[in-house]
Chains A and B, each alone.
Chain A
Amino acid sequence: MKLGKVIGNVVCTQKVDSLQDIKLLLVQPLNEKFEEIGNPVVACDTVQAGINDIVFYEGGREAALGLKNWFNPSDLTIMGIVDQVNIGE
């Protein structure tokens, strides 16, 4: 799992049937210090995250399993909203 910040949403009408009713969000990957790493990615939402929320997301096969209908072509799925990150002792 990785940390990320929701920076926008993606509206997409024409998409595969198994991704209908799934919200797509634009997520900026972050490191543990909340510094941006890499380019923004698009992830499926399962937890009703909103813009500026810090979230954690999973990629690969597990991204598909995170959605209700798990036979889908999702590549990244948001698994939870982060309340707080504690670093160090």
Chain B
Amino acid sequence: MILGKVIGNVVSTIKLPVYQGYKILIVQPLNDKEEPKGESVLALDTVQAGVGDTVLVIDEGNSSRLIMNDSTAPVRTMIVGIVDAIK
């Protein structure tokens, strides 16, 4: 899992049916000091995160498919938690 910050959202009407009903957010990966690191990625939201939230992101297909309960879902990147604090 990686830490990231939600910096925006993506609106899409025409997409694969498996993506229907999920919000797509743009996430900027962060390092341990919460500084931006690397290129942004698009992630499906499962926890109602919003812009400005620091979030926990998985970038691994099997975990995403488990969460979606669909063994053939073509989804890899997912927001699975909102971070309250890093100590």
Task: Quote the shortest CB–CB distance from B11 to chain A (angstroms).
Answer: 4
| Total contacting residues, chain B, CB less than 8 A | 28
Residue ID in chain B nearest A85 by CB atoms: B10
Complex Cα–Cα for A7 and B74 (A): 24
**Which residues of chain B are near A77, meaning CB under 8 Å?**
74
Q: Which of A2, A65, A77 has the most CB of B within 10 A?
A: A65
Check A82–B10 contact: CB distance below 8 A: yes
Taking beta carbons and an 8 Å cutoff, which residues of A are in contact with B?
Answer: 1-3, 31-32, 37, 46-48, 56, 58, 60-66, 70, 77, 79-89
Q: Could you jot down 14 A-B contacts, CB within 8 Å? A: A3-B42, A32-B28, A56-B42, A58-B75, A65-B73, A79-B15, A79-B74, A80-B15, A83-B12, A85-B8, A86-B9, A86-B51, A87-B7, A89-B51
Complex Cα–Cα for A32 and B52 (A): 15
**Which residues of chain B are near A79, meaning CB under 8 Å?**
15-16, 19, 74
Q: Does B31 contact A (CB under 8 A)?
A: no
Complex Cα–Cα for A31 and B41 (A): 8
Check B19–A65 contact: CB distance below 8 A: no
* Top-3 shortest CB links A-B: A80-B15, A66-B74, A1-B42
Complex Cα–Cα for A1 and B79 (A): 12
